[in-house]
Chains A and B, each alone.
Chain A
Amino acid sequence: MSGERLHYPHRKRGLDHAWFTHEPTFSRKPVAWPNGKQVALWITVPLELFPLDAPAQPFRPLGGLDRGYPDFWSYSNRDYGLRIGIYRIMRVLDGLGLTATAAVNAAVAMRYPRVVEEARLRRWEIMASGMDMGRLHHGSLPIEDERNLVRDACAIIAKAAGKPIAGWHSPAHSESMHTLQLVRECGLDYVADWANDDLPYLLQTSAGPLCAMPLTFEWSDRLLLVQHSLTVDDYQAQIMRAFQRLRAEADQRGAGRILSLSVSPWIMGYPHRIATFQRLLGRIVASGSIWHANGTQIAETFRDQVLRAS
C-alpha cells in the first residue's frame, strides 16, 4: 500500500494528464481584439434551477439548498432570480448596450422558456449548462449516464436557443474525467469550467479539440458575495482592480486580455446590489478600452489568431 505512494507514474515535464500542455500565458502569441480594444468584456449570466430534492452528495454547489428538506425558503430565494433578478440584469445591460452569454440549465429552458426567449431577443449567446444544479457531473457518475445527461441537456438547450450551441459550462464548474470528451462528442466548440488561465487555450479530448474559455470563478459574484460575504462596494472595487490590471498588461504587452464576469440573477439581481452593478459596468464601459463580446466571438477570434497559427 505504502509502496504505491512511492510510485510516480506521471512524474515528467508538463502536466499529469493529456488534455493540454503547459504553456505560461505570458509567453504565448498575443491576441488583438477588434478595433484595438485592450480588454474583451465577457459577461456570463448563469440561469440556474436548484431542485428541492437535490442530493447532498457528491457535494452541494454554492447556492445549493442547505436548510433541510423541503427548503422552500432557499428555493424561492434562488427562484427570485428567474422571476425578478434576471430582468433587472437585462435592464442594466440593455441600458449600456452590452451583450451577455447565458449559461442555461436545461431545466430552466423547460420550466421558464420566457427567460431564454428574452435572452434570444437581446441576441445573447445561449450556452449549455447541464440539466440543473442538482445533477452535477462528477467522478463517480457512470459514463453512459453522463453521456445521456450531456446529450439531453445540449438537445433541450439547443432547441430553446433555436440553433446549435457552441459553449458548455458544467454546473458548479464540476467535471468527471469524461465530461470534456462527452461535450465534444455533442459537437460543442468550447468549454468554460477550468480556472487556470485569463485567456483561452486548446484542450484535446478523445473526441477532438475544445477551446477552454476563462469563465471566472475567482471573482464571480457567488464566490465574492455569497461565499466570502463581501459587500457589493468591495465587489465593485475588486472587479475594477482586476480590470485595471488586465488593461495595463494589455497596454504593456500589446496583448488582448479578457475581463470575465459571472453575474447571477439570484445574487446580483437583488435591489440592494443592482444599482452598484450598473455603476460598475458604466465605469468599465466608459473607459473606452472594452470590446464587449460573447463567448463564441472571443473563442473564434482567439482560435483564428493564436491557436491555429501556433
Chain B
Amino acid sequence: MIEEPDRYDYLPLIDRPKIRWPNDARVAFWVCPNIEFYELDPPEGQGRPLWPRPHPDVLSYSLRDYGNRVGVWRVMEALEKFGVRASVSLNAAMCDHMPEIVDECLRLRWELFSHGIYNTRLISGMTEDEVREVIRDSVATISRHSGAPVHGWLAPAISATETFFDLLPEFGIRYTVDMVPDDQPVPIKVRSGRLVAVPYSTEINDIRIMGVRGYPAEQWAAMIKASFDQLYREGADNGMVLCVPLHPFVVGQPHRIEALHDVLRHVTSHDQVWLATAREIADYYDAHCYDEAVRYRPSEMAGSR
C-alpha cells in the first residue's frame, strides 16, 4: 500500500503562477451531470456493498432510474434556459440502454466523458489490464455513439486502483476529475503522456449535500453561490474553476430543481464568467498554463509569492 498519492507537486495558493482565462474571466464555470446506469443485480465481491439493501434493492434502484426517466430532462431544460453546456460524466452503457438520453445530450452540444461502463462496476482491485479494458470499452462506446473523441474520465462510483491514472493517457484521456485538491487545474504525474485534474467537487455535490446530509435545496444553492462569490473575488487575481456536480435523481426532483435555476441565474448574471466545458478548461490549461505549472518551484521561505 502507498502512503501518499505522489501525483502532483505542492503549489500553495499564495505562491503559484497566475491563470488568465479567456476574456479575463475570473471563474471558469462548468456543470457536470452524472448520467448513470446502476444494475439491478450487479456481481458481488467488488470490495464494498453496491446497494444499501440486499438485491434487488427496488427503492434505491428505482430512485436512480427516476433520474433517467424524469430528472435528467428537468436538468436539461434548466441548463438550456441559461445557455450552459454541460460536461456529462457518462456510464458508457447508457449508450446501449437509453440512447435517446445520450442523443439529447448531443443535440444540446454537451460534452461526454467516461464514467466507466456501469456505476455498479467498480475498478477497485482490478489488474491494470482489466482497468485498461474498462477505459477502452467506455471510450470506444461513447465515441462510437457521439462521433467525437472522449477526453475525460471519472472512475465509476469513485473507485480507484493505485495506478489507474497512468493508464488513462494510453486511451487519449487528457483530463481526470478523480483528484480534488484545488480550485485550479492540477498537472497529474503519469508514467507517460500528460494528464490534468480539472476541479470537480466533493463539497457541493448534490448527492452528498442533499442526498446524504439532507440539506434542503435552498441550502445547497446557498453553498454554491457562496463558493462562486468567493472564487469570483479571488479570480480577479488568479483565475479559478467552479464545478457543480449533479445527479439527476437528486437535483431533478420537483422540490429541488428550482434551486438549480437559482444557481444558474446567479452565476450567469456575472460578467467575468467563462461558461466552459471540462474539456475546454483542460485544453486551455494545457496550452497556456501546464508548462509553467510543472516548471514552477514555490519557495520554502514564507512571505514570498
Contact = CB atoms under 8 A, between A and B. Distances in A.
Given A52-B4, A76-B5, A77-B203, A121 B180 contact: no
B181 interface: yes
Contact of A114 (B10, B180, B224): B10
Interface stretch (A180-188, A190-198, A269-277): A269-277
Nearest to A73: B158
B300 A77 contact: no
A118 B303 CA distance: 7
A231 interface: yes
A70 B155 CA distance: 12
Contacts of A257: none
Most buried by A among B181, B204, B214, B303: B181
Contacts of B48: 68
Interface string B271-304: 0000000000000000000000000001111110
Q: Secondary structure at chain A's binding surface: helix, strand, loop or mixed?
A: helix
Contact of B160 (A72, A114, A274): A72
A46 B234 CA distance: 24
Main secondary structure of the interface of B (DSSP, over half): loop
B302 A112 contact: no
B82 interface: no
A309 B223 CA distance: 50
Contacts of A231: 215, 219, 222-223
A229 B3 contact: no
Contact of B2 (A70, A115, A232): A70
A121 B160 CA distance: 39
Contact of B178 (A53, A72, A115, A274): A72
A82 B182 CA distance: 10
A26 B231 CA distance: 46
Interface string B54-86: 000000000000000000000000000000000
B5 A117 contact: no
A68 B10 contact: no
Contacts of B178: 72-73
A87 B4 CA distance: 22
B40 interface: no
B13 A70 contact: no
B2 to A, nearest CB: 6
Interface in B245-292: none
Interface string B150-180: 0000000011111000000000000000111
Contacts of A80: 180-182
B226 interface: yes
Interface size class of A (residues with CB under 8 A): 35 or more
Interface string A88-122: 10000000000000000000000111110110110
Contact of A272 (B4, B5, B182, B224): B224
Contact of A271 (B158, B159, B161, B231): B231
A79 B183 CA distance: 12
A76 B300 contact: no
A8 B231 CA distance: 60
Nearest to A51: B3
Nearest to B200: A73
A79 B223 CA distance: 21
B12 A272 contact: no
Nearest to B3: A51
A71 interface: yes
Nearest to B1: A53
A272 B226 contact: yes
A9 B178 CA distance: 55
Given A52-B1, A53-B3, A113 B300 contact: yes
A49 to B, nearest CB: 8
Given A73-B179, A82-B10, A271-B230, 9 more contacts: A52-B5, A76-B5, A77-B202, A87-B14, A229-B214, A229-B215, A231-B215, A272-B227, A273-B226
29 contacts: A51-B3, A52-B5, A53-B1, A71-B160, A73-B160, A73-B178, A73-B202, A76-B179, A77-B202, A77-B203, A79-B181, A83-B13, A83-B181, A83-B182, A88-B13, A111-B4, A111-B10, A113-B300, A114-B15, A114-B300, A114-B302, A229-B214, A229-B215, A270-B227, A271-B226, A271-B242, A272-B204, A272-B227, A273-B226
Closest 9 CB pairs of A and B: A271-B230, A121-B302, A117-B302, A53-B1, A76-B181, A271-B227, A272-B223, A87-B13, A229-B213
Interface of B: 1-5, 7, 10-15, 47-48, 124, 158-162, 178-183, 202-204, 213-215, 219, 222-224, 226-231, 234, 242, 298-303
